[in-house]
């Protein structure tokens, strides 16, 4: 069986070990332990980890909290090639970066650099903007959209850290569906679309987002934003019950009537486990490239 695309080019990040529902990671000089629902296998050693700076504990009623064993900076920076990212342990166990996505950054950055023309990229559900920063560093003009102002501000910080304070990046705080519909009415077009939609979400006015029912109509809206000569389309998903084949079918249906050449490829992304060579699966993707 073909395995995940593995983000194995990191120097400032490493997945040190994992098992029994937890993972031990190095983020620069800081070691964190966090839960991960995919890790249903045991740890080989069976011994508790002692080498970590902070551990996230889930609460029985939902949520959780960090246990700090060392005094950490409020935030710190790690690098991937010529990209730099702000890292900060959040109240929801996350750090502001999904390192497995480096395989997608490498892929679309090469497409942008090699296409020989200006590229307009739309990054939807853009979170803290790692994909935005990677695309801008490769030479694209990027529109970054997320409903949370804090995430958009974090993206701006990441861009500044990566030497992109003057880059052509639009920072938009908005509901992604509403923004896409307005862009359609404005007649705007993009050469590439990146999206990382959540499984569930709730808008400021109480709107509900559910991936399995709302992704297809959202893709139909996004299709109208593609330029006549698009470069790529990338869908990421972290929903366990979907499969790469489902994302392939959705992307094929999205593009089928546009008479576009190119290919669709889908699969998993993952991270190598330093201790024993396993691969931790971290999500799904589907890519179209012209």
* pLDDT tens track, the chain, 290 positions: 467 999 999 999 999 999 999 999 999 999 999 999 999 999 988 788 999 999 999 987 778 999 999 999 999 999 999 999 999 999 999 999 999 999 999 999 999 999 999 999 999 999 999 999 999 999 999 999 999 999 999 999 999 999 999 999 999 999 999 999 999 999 999 999 999 998 877 766 667 778 888 999 999 999 999 999 999 999 999 876 789 999 999 999 999 988 878 999 999 999 999 999 999 999 999 999 98
Judge whether 14 and 26 are in contact, CB under 8 Å. yes
CA pair distance 92, 107, nearest whole angstrom: 29
Vertex 10, ends 43 and 22: CA angle to 5°? Answer: 25
CA pair distance 44, 262, nearest whole angstrom: 44
Judge whether 93 and 35 are in contact, CB under 8 Å. yes
pLDDT at 206: 67
Output the pTM of the full model.
Answer: 0.95
Q: What are the structural domains, with CATH classification, of the chain? A: 5-87 (2.60.40.1180), 99-289 (3.40.50.150)
Judge whether 134 and 108 are in contact, CB under 8 Å. yes
Query: Is residue 17 helix, strand or coil?
Result: strand
């Amino acid at each position: 069986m073909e395995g995940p695309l593995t983000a194995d080019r990191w120097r400032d990040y490493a997945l040190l070990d994992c098992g029994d529902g937890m993972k031990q990671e190095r983020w620069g000089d800081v070691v964190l332990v966090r839960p991960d629902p995919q890790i249903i296998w045991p740890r080989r050693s069976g011994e508790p980890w002692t080498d970590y700076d902070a551990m996230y504990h889930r609460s029985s009623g939902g949520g959780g909290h960090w246990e700090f064993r060392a005094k950490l900076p409020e935030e710190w920076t790690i690098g991937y090639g010529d990209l730099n990212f702000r890292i900060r342990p959040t109240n929801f166990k996350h750090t502001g970066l999904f390192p497995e996505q480096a395989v997608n950054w490498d892929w679309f950055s090469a497409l942008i650099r090699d296409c020989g023309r200006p590229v307009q990229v739309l990054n939807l559900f853009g979170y803290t903007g790692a994909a935005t920063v990677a695309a801008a560093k490769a030479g694209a003009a990027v529109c970054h959209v997320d409903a949370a102002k804090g995430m958009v501000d974090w993206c701006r910080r990441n861009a500044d850290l990566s030497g992109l304070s003057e880059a052509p990046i639009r920072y938009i705080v908005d509901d992604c569906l509403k923004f896409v519909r307005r862009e359609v009415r404005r007649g705007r077009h993009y050469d590439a679309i990146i999206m990382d939609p959540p499984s569930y979400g709730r808008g400021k006015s109480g709107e509900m987002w559910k991936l399995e029912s709302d992704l297809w109509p959202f893709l139909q809206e996004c299709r109208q934003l593609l330029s006549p000569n698009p470069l790529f389309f990338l869908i990421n998903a972290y929903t366990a019950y979907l499969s790469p084949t489902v994302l392939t079918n959705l992307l094929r249906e999205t593009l089928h009537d546009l008479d576009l050449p190119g290919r669709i490829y889908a699969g998993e992304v993952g991270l190598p486990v330093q201790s024993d060579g396993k691969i931790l699966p971290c999500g799904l993707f589907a890519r179209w490239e012209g």
